[in-house]
Structure formats: structure tokens, C-alpha cells
Amino acid sequence: MTKFGSWLVGAIVAVVLPSDGRAASPGTAAALPALKLAKRERILVLSPHPDDAALGAGGLIQRVISGGGVVRVVQLTGGDGFSRGVMAIRPGVRPTAEEYRWYGSIREQEDLRAMRRLGVRRAQVTLLGFPDDGLCGLTSTYRTARVFESPYTKRASPPDSEQLVRNTMYRGADLIRELTQIIEEFRPTLIVLPHPGDQHPDHCATHLLVHEALAGAPESGTGTPRVLHYLVHFPEWPAADGSVLPSRVLERGWVWTSLRLTSREQAGKQAALDFFKSQALVMPEFLNAFVRSSELFIEGEPALPIPCWCSGENITSVPRTVH
């Protein structure tokens, strides 16, 4: 092929035509390739805190259910370590361990209502009760021998009602064991989880923990599930509807795909997010910014490891010895 020929091909590829035939502006969500979904997907959505599944994948969840698929949502923590959130409900009072536990149960109830609104039945939501603001410690210091105690709730284990495996404690190996069991039982075709570049330590730690569980789950006969990542905490994120995406997310070589939402799906996502009243007290604009005309995902793993900072330590580089 001549030099001119390869330039011409590149120029043709750079112009993306959406389904209505109009050219999409480069760098916008409309220019990204559309997310491909099979019929009757089985999607497993991993959510560090009670609102993350709805924020990152509230539209995708509705789409899969309406397509005859099955959705399982796993809430790793109850979001029970959010001091600013507790004090927004009870101003002027220094929260006690009891109040942090009470706050976590409120957030879990909000999540169950939100999921119901998206079409996910209670039986398809698993609450694991691991510590908010503690997941990154479970990937390093508290992996196997030492048990983490939440400085907020003073718990060292999930509540009895949320233990999938009896005698589970706040250790990384215990959480990975429960996640492995869920993956084995549910046999997902698609796993949806936080991207390793998410700047909240609980989010990038969730990525690491889920991948360890995936590595340990035996072959199920349904093949290796596809992996989709969502981003919640990142500079200039979420990008405003129709705007050019932040250069930082495009320059990193992440493979983005876009799920264009119908107006009904957008309304469903908004209605689900409206159940998170405790969070709307603290960050209403942030929550509502996730109701956009499309949901964006990063498919597959990044080419290079991305640091996940936990109390000054990059836990991505900690040796993994659980399995």
C-alpha cells in the first residue's frame, strides 16, 4: 500500500458514522464504538459502595434485563465509613460506631430500592458487608493473617446476615473466597467492575480483588467472561453530555465503548439514583452527572499496570500470594 493509501484509510477510520448516518465529532462519546451485547447476557456487576453499580451501569443493567439477560449485583461494602455523609444527616454530632453502622444500613436499603427500580430483584443483589474505606488495606497489610478493624464501625467481620461463607473476617483472602464462590455459582458472561485507573482507593482495590477471584475461579464451561470497566472517580469525570471526553482518558490507550441509552433508560437511571437520598444531601450534582445519553465503558485490561494508592503505598505492586 502506498503512503497516500494508508493515510486515506486512517482518515476514513477517523470519521465515525453513528447509526443515524451523521458524522460524530471526534473525541465525543458518540464517536466511540458501540458496546456489543449478546442475547441473554449474564452480567455480574461489582460495586465498591452502594451507589456505584447504578452510577456506572444503571443503563446497562436495564438493557440486559430487557434483553432477557440476568443481572447479579454485588455490593462489597455498605458505604458505612463516610463521615461527611453521616454528619449531613446528623449535623454537629461526632458519629459513633453505632451511627456508622446505622448509616451503612440506610445506604444498603437505598441501594436495594434503586436496584429494584432498575429491574433487579432482591435475590439478585448480594451485600457482602466489607469495610468502607478499608478495601485497599485488604489487598496488602490485611491479606491473610492480620484482620482489619474498621475505624468507623469497629467491626472486624461482615454482619452475620451478610456472610456468604461462615466466619468470614475482614481479610483480603476471605473476600476473594466469597467473590470466587459468587463467580463460580453465577457463571457470568460479562463482568462489570471499577477500572484500575479510578482514583478512589476502594475502587481500584475492588479491581485487584475481583481479578484475583477471577484467576482463582475454575473454568465453568461457559468460557472466560468479557470484562467491562466503569469509571466513577477521575478528574473531569463524568464528561458532560455531548462534550469532548477529557484528554487524559483518551491519551492512556484505554479501549472505550459506548452504550447509547434510550430516553426511557435515562429516566429509569435517574429514578434509581433518586433513591440515594443520603448521598444527594452531600453531592447531588455529582450523582446527577451520571445520567447522560450514553454510558461509557473501558473494555479489557490496560496495557500497563496502573498504580492504586493506599496510604502512600502503590498496592498494584504488592506480590499476590493468596492462591
Q: Which of 29, 45, 49, 197 binds Zn ion (CB under 5 A)?
A: 49
**Footprint (CB under 5 A) of Zn ion, residues 69-108:** none
* Partners of 42 in beta bridges: 70
Residue 46 or 176: the one with the smaller Cβ distance to Zn ion is 46
Residue 52 binding Zn ion, by CB under 5 A: yes
Residue 48 or 201: the one with the smaller Cβ distance to Zn ion is 48
Among the candidate windows 52-60, 83-91, 127-135, 295-303, which touches Zn ion by CB under 5 A? 52-60
* Smallest distance, Zn ion to C-beta of residue 233, A: 7
Please check whether residue 286 is in contact with residue 166, taking contact to mean a CB–CB distance below 8 angstroms: no
Among the candidate windows 45-53, 154-162, 223-231, 304-312, which touches Zn ion by CB under 5 A? 45-53
Residue 76 or 322: the one with the smaller Cβ distance to Zn ion is 76
* Smallest distance, Zn ion to C-beta of residue 33, A: 27
What is the rounded CA–CA span in Å between residue 127 and residue 31? 37
Q: What are phi and psi of 40, to 5 degrees?
A: 55, 50
Q: Which of 32, 41, 45, 48 binds Zn ion (CB under 5 A)?
A: 48
CA–CA–CA angle 137, 180, 67 (5° rounding): 115
Residue 49 or 107: the one with the smaller Cβ distance to Zn ion is 49
* Smallest distance, Zn ion to C-beta of residue 232, A: 6
Residue 111 binding Zn ion, by CB under 5 A: no
Residue 77 or 266: the one with the smaller Cβ distance to Zn ion is 77
CA–CA–CA angle 166, 169, 173 (5° rounding): 100
Q: Closest Cα partner for 142 from 169, 114, 120? A: 169
Q: How far apart are the first and last CA of the chain?
A: 49
- Of all residues in this chain, which one has the CB nearest to Zn ion in the complex? 49
Question: Based on the number of CB atoms within 10 Å of its own CB, is 169 exposed (0-12), middle (13-18) or buried (19 or more)?
Answer: middle
Q: Residue 13 contacts by C-beta under 8 Å, 6 or more apart in sequence?
A: none
**Site residues (vs Zn ion, CB under 5 A):** 48-49, 52
